[in-house]
Chain A
């Protein structure tokens, strides 16, 4: 309880935005731990520097190299190793394995300067897209091939809507230049690289509206390449999905 409160206070001190993903609290704790350690080391180093300068001149200069260099270095090495190991554990859980097979599939496509989110529809398979069919003006920004059987029930949204508490498997793509898919409140960031499909998975926990930003310089509209992530309760999500599926069928 006390720890929770301390974490909240830390979050506010360092101005971290609210945290709405399942992996977020662990990441935040580690980040805050890092920040406090760094702040302490910064203060310590400055105190040493200032005291060292202000002190009365010593008769002999410091000579014990083992004590002054190698002991603190060993301490720092241990500290860095501990932080790395902890960070590595978090990184492995987040990235080394793929998403749960039951995860919700959504395709995210970045283009100058918008994000599009494609849901595979009832058949749970994404239809074929072709670059030569891309025509944002005609309502086909992703170049969805209508002759493909799987693409009939796909639908494309400009808003990412996700159910709370269910893992989602995002496949990131880009049509033109490198974009950065960044959701600060989900503690998530991954570049979308043209020519590649990059998978990333996470579980949103708290319903609400969150910012999706572009974090990789992509052109003059980089700053306004924003979208909204709406995390809703499972029934609401089903209703939203049904509404859109109906839209596709009409």
Chain B
């Protein structure tokens, strides 16, 4: 396999994100353990210091959002499946694609090295609000560690930029004959919208990083007011900037970024539900429009992260409206999913279970969105665990379910073996129970007033201590649930291991799928003797009883024989 081949890169991206995922999960477990038992010293390390806890927060967020939820669905499965799904044997710019991958590797290594520099890892979270992130004296890890973080994210931004250009050009130019835009599977539309969003989003992020770099090292103060007293020392800035400028730039990137992470999963869920329900996706063209609408609205809602950040209250009202508006296309998606499976008595292999789980988590996490979109309620809920629960359900858990769904669904295609169903069901049950048991109670601790990013909830004097200590029983429960959730993933890795070692092969198209990647020759690296792929019909053409289907790659023939 050539190093620039998209499938090599796809597997490499998945390996990279699996490593990041394992690291991120372990970091989150450390956080949970520390929250529930703050006095428990870490073996071989000793007690967890507050700055170390915040380092865990920062690394966990950065790893998960960038190196798992962005690269795995978009560039991992995108590279593996997308060309075949549009009937192409290659990507538009293989060299660019490979360069992007190695840049991502460099970004990940830089990030993972940040805890080991002087001062340790940065502590300002994945949002890196200045002045905390702009002034080295503002905390441990804000000197060299923060520089590593900046370098890592800048590299990541460049890599994403390159990959997005490659993916967009591939979709626009390399669709095979007959693959008209309305015949593209919704998965491709998800990738397309996500890649389209990531260009402006990451461009703005890069500009913001450049300005922050200037603030840190070149004596400017784009994000710093005229005078500050940080850590007892006076800091002057000639610029008289405003920290709010960073918030605007960052969330202009940050909000689209969460849609980038979830859109491919949404598209895939539509396709998989339809496939096992043996139905067309309900309101197919509307769903295309809805995805693009989510993409467009997604860049108009960034201010809802700033309702209580010092924004004008009038701006708050405006962003509340645009944010409420985005709930409608998202609801349209959910309605389509329910209508697609309604009365279809689908087969329920693990892939389908994960698709249904995705829908469930999307609903559970999405419904709290409109609550947080109301500025007056955000005045109470902002930066509490209610928000943590919201985005972990809709982005993290739904995103991960999208990844598991993709793995179970495409595993036969990529390896010629189906993952073990019994282990798969066990994995699904453990994961969905663990996910809900971990994140539903967080709504309650958030409603009780627990703020985010607190290194510990005990040992604080006064009424504040009483308020926080009141959540401790639930905290312990959440920690147990999180451990359960993490342990449940062992079944998945066991499944991968045993399946990859087994010799039994499955049929070429075990799910009777209709999309192009399941064509017999679609993934053959040297498929020169096969005719050029052609698309003849839209995806998801099944007969009424669901027994027969018409794959996209087969020419349409009039039925012969007796009616």
Direct contact of A and B (CB under 8 A): yes
Do A91 and B343 touch (CB < 8 A)?
A: no
Instruction: Tell yes or no: B309 within 8 A of A by CB.
Output: yes
Q: Which residues of A contact B193 (CB under 8 A)?
A: none
Residue from B50, B243, B244 within 8 A of A220 (CB atoms)? B50
In the complex, which residues 71-126 of chain A have their Cβ closer than 8 Å to any Cβ of chain B? 72-73, 76-77, 80-81, 83-84, 87-88, 90-92, 94-96, 111-112
Shortest C-beta distance, B506 to chain A (Å), equals 24
A31 CA / B368 CA spacing, docked (Å): 11
Do B343 and A58 touch (CB < 8 A)?
A: yes
Do B279 and A184 touch (CB < 8 A)?
A: no
Do A213 and B449 touch (CB < 8 A)?
A: yes
Instruction: Tell yes or no: A157 within 8 A of B by CB.
Output: no
Instruction: Tell yes or no: A27 within 8 A of B by CB.
Output: yes
Shortest C-beta distance, B448 to chain A (Å), equals 4
Do A177 and B131 touch (CB < 8 A)?
A: yes
Do A189 and B379 touch (CB < 8 A)?
A: yes
Do B382 and A76 touch (CB < 8 A)?
A: no
Assuming the A-B contacts A187-B379, A213-B464, are A62 and B447 also in contact, with contact meaning beta carbons closer than 8 angstroms in the complex? no
Assuming the A-B contacts A184-B467, A211-B462, are A76 and B327 also in contact, with contact meaning beta carbons closer than 8 angstroms in the complex? yes
A34 CA / B371 CA spacing, docked (Å): 7
Encoded as 1 (CB less than 8 Å from any B CB) or 0, chain A from 190 to 226 comes to: 1101111010000000000111111111111111101
Q: Which residues of A contact B334 (CB under 8 A)?
A: 45
Instruction: Tell yes or no: B508 within 8 A of A by CB.
Output: no
Assuming the A-B contacts A16-B448, A219-B123, are A91 and B317 also in contact, with contact meaning beta carbons closer than 8 angstroms in the complex? yes
Instruction: Tell yes or no: B93 within 8 A of A by CB.
Output: no
In the complex, which residues 322-343 of chain B have their Cβ closer than 8 Å to any Cβ of chain A? 324, 327-328, 331-332, 334-343
Q: Which residues of B contact A223 (CB under 8 A)?
A: 50, 453-457, 460
Do A217 and B377 touch (CB < 8 A)?
A: no
Do B335 and A73 touch (CB < 8 A)?
A: yes
Do A46 and B448 touch (CB < 8 A)?
A: no
CB-based nearest A residue for B370: A80
Instruction: Tell yes or no: B129 within 8 A of A by CB.
Output: yes
Instruction: Tell yes or no: A178 within 8 A of B by CB.
Output: yes
A32 CA / B35 CA spacing, docked (Å): 28
Do A111 and B370 touch (CB < 8 A)?
A: no
A90 CA / B380 CA spacing, docked (Å): 13
Shortest C-beta distance, B228 to chain A (Å), equals 6
Shortest C-beta distance, A148 to chain B (Å), equals 17
Do B448 and A15 touch (CB < 8 A)?
A: yes
CB-based nearest B residue for A223: B454
Do A49 and B444 touch (CB < 8 A)?
A: no
Instruction: Tell yes or no: A60 within 8 A of B by CB.
Output: yes
Do A52 and B462 touch (CB < 8 A)?
A: no
Instruction: Tell yes or no: B206 within 8 A of A by CB.
Output: no
Do B309 and A217 touch (CB < 8 A)?
A: no
CB-based nearest B residue for A67: B339
Do B313 and A96 touch (CB < 8 A)?
A: yes
Instruction: Tell yes or no: A188 within 8 A of B by CB.
Output: yes
Assuming the A-B contacts A17-B448, A52-B343, A219-B139, are A45 and B338 also in contact, with contact meaning beta carbons closer than 8 angstroms in the complex? yes
Do A211 and B226 touch (CB < 8 A)?
A: no
Q: Which residues of B contact A69 (CB under 8 A)?
A: 282-283, 286, 332, 335-336, 339
Do B328 and A77 touch (CB < 8 A)?
A: yes
A187 CA / B374 CA spacing, docked (Å): 14
Instruction: Tell yes or no: A9 within 8 A of B by CB.
Output: no
Q: Which residues of B contact A151 (CB under 8 A)?
A: none
Assuming the A-B contacts A87-B374, A221-B50, are A194 and B341 also in contact, with contact meaning beta carbons closer than 8 angstroms in the complex? no
- The size bracket of the interface on B is 35 or more
Residue from A131, A196, A209 within 8 A of B462 (CB atoms)? A209
Q: Which residues of A contact B316 (CB under 8 A)?
A: 91, 95
Do A189 and B363 touch (CB < 8 A)?
A: no
Do A15 and B447 touch (CB < 8 A)?
A: yes
Q: Which residues of A contact B118 (CB under 8 A)?
A: none
Do B243 and A178 touch (CB < 8 A)?
A: yes
CB-based nearest B residue for A63: B282
Do A56 and B343 touch (CB < 8 A)?
A: yes
Residue from A30, A65, A221, A227 within 8 A of B377 (CB atoms)? A30
Assuming the A-B contacts A72-B331, A193-B243, are A220 and B376 also in contact, with contact meaning beta carbons closer than 8 angstroms in the complex? no
Do B344 and A83 touch (CB < 8 A)?
A: no
Assuming the A-B contacts A27-B377, A42-B367, are A191 and B309 also in contact, with contact meaning beta carbons closer than 8 angstroms in the complex? yes
CB-based nearest A residue for B54: A220
A227 CA / B460 CA spacing, docked (Å): 10
Assuming the A-B contacts A176-B131, A184-B380, A226-B465, are A65 and B328 also in contact, with contact meaning beta carbons closer than 8 angstroms in the complex? no
CB-based nearest B residue for A97: B313
Instruction: Tell yes or no: B561 within 8 A of A by CB.
Output: no
Do B131 and A178 touch (CB < 8 A)?
A: yes
Assuming the A-B contacts A49-B360, A52-B342, are A84 and B367 also in contact, with contact meaning beta carbons closer than 8 angstroms in the complex? no
Do B462 and A59 touch (CB < 8 A)?
A: no
Assuming the A-B contacts A77-B328, A87-B377, are A134 and B229 also in contact, with contact meaning beta carbons closer than 8 angstroms in the complex? yes
Instruction: Tell yes or no: B558 within 8 A of A by CB.
Output: no
Shortest C-beta distance, A48 to chain B (Å), equals 5
Shortest C-beta distance, B268 to chain A (Å), equals 17
Q: Which residues of A contact B460 (CB under 8 A)?
A: 223-224, 226
Instruction: Tell yes or no: A68 within 8 A of B by CB.
Output: yes
Shortest C-beta distance, B138 to chain A (Å), equals 6
Instruction: Tell yes or no: A165 within 8 A of B by CB.
Output: no
Instruction: Tell yes or no: A175 within 8 A of B by CB.
Output: yes
Residue from A77, A95, A187 within 8 A of B380 (CB atoms)? A187
Do A112 and B138 touch (CB < 8 A)?
A: yes
In the complex, the 9 A-B pairs of residues with the closest C-beta atoms, listed nearest first: A195-B225, A226-B464, A184-B449, A87-B374, A58-B343, A211-B464, A95-B313, A52-B342, A223-B454
Given contacts A87-B375, A194-B224, 7 further A-B pairs with CB under 8 A are A31-B377, A34-B370, A56-B343, A68-B283, A72-B331, A177-B131, A178-B243
Report which A residues bind B (CB closer than 8 A).
14-17, 27, 30-31, 34-35, 38, 41-42, 45-46, 48-49, 52-62, 65, 68-69, 72-73, 76-77, 80-81, 83-84, 87-88, 90-92, 94-96, 111-112, 131-132, 134, 136, 143, 175-178, 180, 182, 184, 187-191, 193-196, 198, 209-224, 226-229
Can you list 23 A-B contacts with CB-CB less than 8 angstroms, sorted by A residue number? A34-B370, A45-B334, A45-B363, A49-B341, A53-B356, A59-B544, A61-B279, A61-B282, A62-B339, A65-B286, A69-B332, A112-B138, A177-B138, A189-B379, A189-B383, A195-B226, A196-B310, A209-B462, A211-B462, A215-B451, A219-B123, A222-B455, A228-B463
